[in-house]
Every structure is written in structure tokens, then in C-alpha cells.
Chains A and B, each alone.
Chain A
């Protein structure tokens, strides 16, 4: 089966700094990959390249014809006064129709992602009053509403406690298995990467490496990536 996305001999840099040269890797359909690397090494830039927001200076990125992307961004500013319910927040991502009201099919689609993300019981809770884990699930549900087959999670677990992290990642793994969703999970948390993803893409200042997480050698990882450095 052809990969969902193939990066081939790609180079990219900004005016003052070269980030990658001759980078090649492919993400298979249905794979679950951690993207790891120290801060500033270019994880976010790589995501923007994969999403097509930036163009490589050399080499190519080939996307499968049916690729559709869901992206869960890292930072969101939802204050405690935020008025909309979880359901309303998720529904914001329905942009296909031009009318203000939502059709029955659209409502059913919202019901479906809300159930998939275990939010049915909490859907009428104000997002501002929701817990960190519920907020992350709502962000995930919103991204899933367009039925993507490739999901990028940008440090989705960074602000969560250990139990909530595990719960969220179990949910992502279930979606990966049930829907065949290809997942790219950006993280600093190596334990989580090892437990929930089958392979990792490590970015370093000198190059990159795509390998099964079973072979991950924590001792060889950049220091700031070791779980010990994580503050819970």
C-alpha cells in the first residue's frame, strides 16, 4: 500500500538558518508516529511543511490523493468565562454550508464525533468550565469533524496530568485502530511515545531518524526529552 505522505530528499531553512537537508521518510496509512526533538529543532516547521503551509527549498513532499488532514494546535486561549458548550465548540468546524442553521446530517455528524471522543455525557458543559482533559478531547473532536484520515496532534498532552495523558492517548489509539486514522503525535514525553506510538521520528540538529519505538534508547535521546525533565 502506498504511504499516506512521503517526504523525499527534502531541504528547508529560513534565511538565517538551515533546518533540514536531504530529509526522507514516509508515513504508512494507519501508522502512529511520535515526532520528537528538542525545542527549536524544527518540529513545528516540519508540521507546516507536511500541511502544505510552507514549501520545501529542495526535494518533494508527496501526499496521497485522498489525504485529508485534521490538525489539533498546541495553544488555545480558552478562559474560564468562555461561554460556548463543548458541543457548540466542536460544531464551529462545520463550514461546508452557508446557512446559519445546522442540517440534520450535520447534527448527526457532531453526535458521532462527540461519542467517538467520549464526550456525550459532557457535551452540554461550558468549555470554560471543562477540565484540561475534556478540553483536549473537545479540540480533538473538532478536528475530527471533517473526517480526516491524517491527524496531527501538536503537544496535545503537554499540560495534562499523567492519568489524563494516558486517557487521551488511549482514545487516540482507539481512533487509530477503529478508523484507520494515521496519527502524528508531537511530544516531549518519551514514555508516552513508547507506550502509545509504534514508531518515532526524531529530529536533531544534525539529522533525523525514523525507527520503531521498541528500539528507542532513552539514554541516547537529547537530554531535555527524557521523562525525568517533565514537570507534572
Chain B
């Protein structure tokens, strides 16, 4: 299996995707931003479609649209009373835009499928290096901001009382979330990237009681999901995204059972 370049690329890419989404996801869940991650992935879909239309790489298109809209979308979702309606409006608009750009670019529907549901054969070695670079930026800056981000995510009231610069942390987090959504979508597709950003961290939340434990469980759950998904996809020819989604769901419901037993 590993004699094929595309499988090497897929494994390399998905390893870094799982590392990034597994770690970022723990903070997404703590900050109650799962819904926002989903919206960003739809914005990313529109960006990828736009990229196809203007002739640049889909990942670049996704990065441009998600990063440029992350802060605005984050602000829309601050007021709980308006959050659902605002986010639904933005989601539908961008999904519509994505469909429009794909139609205008006159590409075959398989291209849309690739963007929406992911593909393992479309990733070149150059894509992998770009992805590794982006993941490194996210992970290194997170290591630097870790303590403030953890305080703000797990105890916003306490962080405010201690004078943590919450606005700055909030904006920084939206930006790295945008990057994580964009790189995550390269394997599982923009429609399902939020699986990797929400289910492994949910498993971690049920099973881990310290932040290092949660990060380790989340990354492990994401890694097992993508690696097993790639293997099963390779041998069955079924879509990798299906296997990843199914595996993560099994982990999630198993963890939920464990938590219920614990009371």
C-alpha cells in the first residue's frame, strides 16, 4: 500500500490533520464553538469552489475565505439570542455561493464531490508540505499561547477577573480555527471536517480529567480514525470519509456510555 505515492501523501497529510484538529478541537468544544466550526467549513467550501473558478488551488481559496471571515463570523455568534439564526443565514449563503462558483466554473460534479466529501488521491507532495507548514504554525503558536488560551477557554469568567486579554485570545483562536478547518477539509472534505474538530474532543471530554489527558485522548482518537479510515478505504474502495465518520461516531457513543456508567 505504501509503495503508492498517493497513499504516502494521504497518511502524512492525515497525520498532521489529526494532530491539529485533535488539539484545536479540545478548545473548540470548551469554548462552545462546534457550530461555528461547521459554518467555517461551509465558508471554506465556497472558498474552494471560488478557487476552482478562478484557477488557484482549493486549499488556498479555503484559507483566504475562512481566515478573512472568521473574525466577522465569530462576532456574529457572540450574542446567544441571535447566534443560531445568524449562523444559519451565513451558512446557507456560503453553501449557495459554493454551488454557484462550481456551476460557473463548469467543472464536473466529481470536483464538487471532492471538495465536499474529501479525497485521498488528490493530494500531491507539495500539498502535503503546505499542510505540514500550516499545521506547524497552528501548533507552535498554540504552544506559546497555551496557558492564556486554556484559561480563557476553560474558565472565561476567571480569565476576565485575572485580566487575561480575552479579545486578543478570541481573535487568535478564530484564526487558527479557520486554518484548521481548511487543512482538515483536505482529507475528509469541507462537509465533514467538523467531525474531526468535535467528536475526538467530545470523547476526550468524557474520558479525560486533565488538559494533557484530554489533548492526548483527542489526538489519539482522531489519529486512529484517520489511519483506520485510510486503511479500510484502501482495501474496500469505499470512501475514506465514511470510515472516518463511522469510527469517530463509534468512539463518541462508547465514551458517552462510559461517562453514563460513571454517573
Contacts and interface: CB of A to CB of B under 8 A. Distances in A.
B136 interface: no
Interface string A58-84: 000000000000011101110001011
Contacts of A72: 161
A92 B158 contact: yes
A7 interface: no
B78 interface: no
Majority secondary structure, B binding face: helix
Contacts of A142: 155, 158
Contact of A126 (B147, B154, B209): B209
A157 to B, nearest CB: 17
Chain A CB within 10 A, most for which of B144, B155, B205: B155
Interface in A89-144: 89, 92-95, 97-100, 124, 126, 139, 142-143
Given A75-B157, A95-B162, A88 B144 contact: no
Interface residues of A, number: 26
Interface in B180-206: 204-206
Given A84-B210, A88-B209, A88-B211, A100 B157 contact: no
- Grouping DSSP codes into helix (H, G, I), strand (E, B) and loop, the A interface class, with mixed when no group exceeds half, is loop
B151 A95 contact: yes
Given A83-B205, A88-B210, A98 B147 contact: yes
A45 interface: no
Contact of A93 (B144, B158, B208, B210): B158
B211 A139 contact: no
B interface bracket (residues with beta carbon within 8 Å of A): 20 to 34
A124 B151 CA distance: 18
Contact of B162 (A77, A84, A93, A126): A93
Nearest to B29: A83
Most buried by B among A83, A88, A139: A83
Nearest to B215: A100
Given A72-B161, A76-B155, A84-B154, A97 B147 contact: yes
Given A77-B157, A93-B151, A85 B164 contact: no
B160 interface: yes
A156 to B, nearest CB: 12
Contact of A84 (B147, B157, B160, B209): B209
Interface of B: 143-144, 146-148, 150-151, 154-155, 157-162, 164, 204-206, 208-211, 214
